[in-house]
Amino acid sequence: MEIISRRKRMMSLARRLRREENRTIGFVPTMGALHEGHLSLIHEARAMCDVVVVSVFVNPAQFGAMEDFKAYPRDLTRDSALLAEYNVDYVFAPTVEEMYPAGFSTYVTVEGLTDKLEGAARPGHFRGVTTVVAILLNIIKPDFIFFGQKDAQQAIVIKQLVRDLAFASEVVIAPIVREESGLAMSSRNIYLTNEEHRAATVLHRALLKAHKAYDDGERNGERLIEIARETIEQEPLARIDYVSLNDAETLKPLDKIDDRSALLSIAAFIGKTRLIDNVVLGKTKKQDAVGAKA
Ligand code: AMP
């Protein structure tokens, strides 16, 4: 496994793999601090592609001024060891200067989809995400790029980006990987104390409860949101940022669920740590299963 820090090297290598060796490239972008959620994407990429490239880059452009860019966990030695174990071929781990050299001034924005949910709560977040993904797609030009349903809105925004700007990569979305407790795996879970970790499982319980109500016939948006809210509010360490029901493809807010699938999403602070989770109600695809375990 080779660890690459230069754009130029990554570009020429990817070009060679594609053109001379005619190999398909699967690409998994990450911010490191790898866990089984990331590893499931790598597993999928390994199964679908000849060559697997994983990027490890904590992207400053997607963090707000008050967010945890500085504190975000970084351990390339540990991550590289895990990636080698998972038979990854190349790790692209550039510095901030390599990705955003002096004079950098081009940003990519997906409009509409990014003004709600995470976009409303974290202004500028998706502009940072779509910009870095556009750069990475241009450097690596993978056949397939893999994202997790854990960041459901991100997955939708990236699909739109790839469609609109005609990137020649196919977007693959993999299901949410959860701990045995139901808590969705996240690099930010390491911020949680034991007590907060226990409290954080309320997010999954809230989704399960709403899912159960949906299965029992509840289709009213407000009611489903209320069921999730009530559950979270019973946990004193949790503070809701939003609970929202949206069309699972267009993200249009929904007051009732009909024949289209709906995304029920939650953002909440557990202590100082902000966590997100979601479930798709309605037509269930593999990636939407609420119960996927590591
Ligand atoms: P991050 O390093 O947090 O930027 O995440 C990198 C990729 O891993 C994103 O596509 C995430 O959606 C995905 N991911 C993070 N956590 C999980 C999880 N628990 N299950 C599945 N995918 C995940």
DSSP string, 106-119: ------SGGGSTHH
**Residue 290 pLDDT > 80:** no
**Residue 277 pLDDT > 50:** yes
Residue 227: the pLDDT is 98
**Residue 70 pLDDT > 80:** yes
Give the phi and the psi of residue 194 in degrees, each rounded to 5. -55, -40
Cα of 214 to ligand 1 centre, how many Å? 26
Residue 31: the pLDDT is 98
Tell me the mean pLDDT in the region 130-150.
Answer: 98
Cα of 217 to ligand 1 centre, how many Å? 31
Per-residue confidence at 285, pLDDT binned at 50, 70, 90? Answer: low
From 150, 178, 207, give the residue whose CB has the most ligand 1 atoms within 8 Å, as the site to mutate.
Answer: 150
- The residue whose CA is least distant from atom 12 of ligand 1 is 148
pTM over 0.85: yes
Residue 160 tokens read as 């739109």
Tell me the mean pLDDT in the region 39-64.
Answer: 98
Percent of the chain with pLDDT over 90: 95
Choose between 293 and 19: higher pLDDT: 19
Please check whether residue 79 is in contact with residue 53, taking contact to mean a CB–CB distance below 8 angstroms.
Answer: no
What distance in Å separates the CA atoms of residue 107 and residue 1, rounded to the nearest whole number?
Answer: 31
- The β-bridge partners of 173 are 147
Cα of 153 to ligand 1 centre, how many Å? 12
Residue 283: the pLDDT is 73
Residue 294: the pLDDT is 47
Tell me the mean pLDDT in the region 43-71.
Answer: 97
From 31, 41, 55, 125, give the residue whose CB has the most ligand 1 atoms within 8 Å, as the site to mutate.
Answer: 41
**Residue 164 pLDDT > 80:** yes
Strand ordering across the sheet containing 90-92: 2-4, 90-92, 51-56, 25-30, 144-148, 170-174
Q: How far is CA 87 from the centre of its chain?
A: 22
Residue 74 tokens read as 């970084």
- The residue whose CA is least distant from atom 17 of ligand 1 is 37
Q: Which residues line ligand 1 (CB under 6 A)?
A: 30-31, 37-38, 40-41, 147-148, 150-151, 174, 176-177, 184-187
Residue 27 tokens read as 């690409």
- The β-bridge partners of 16 are none
Please check whether residue 266 is in contact with residue 207, taking contact to mean a CB–CB distance below 8 angstroms.
Answer: yes
- The residue whose CA is least distant from atom 5 of ligand 1 is 30
* Consecutive H or E run containing 83: helix 76-85
Cα of 81 to ligand 1 centre, how many Å? 18
**Residue 66 pLDDT > 80:** yes
Tell me the mean pLDDT in the region 1-11.
Answer: 98
**Residue 288 pLDDT > 80:** no
Catalytic residue positions, numbered: 38
Tell me the mean pLDDT in the region 230-244.
Answer: 98
Cβ burial of 43 (10 Å; 0-12, 13-18, 19+) is middle
Cα of 40 to ligand 1 centre, how many Å? 9
Over its C-alpha atoms, the chain yields an Rg (Å, rounded) of: 19
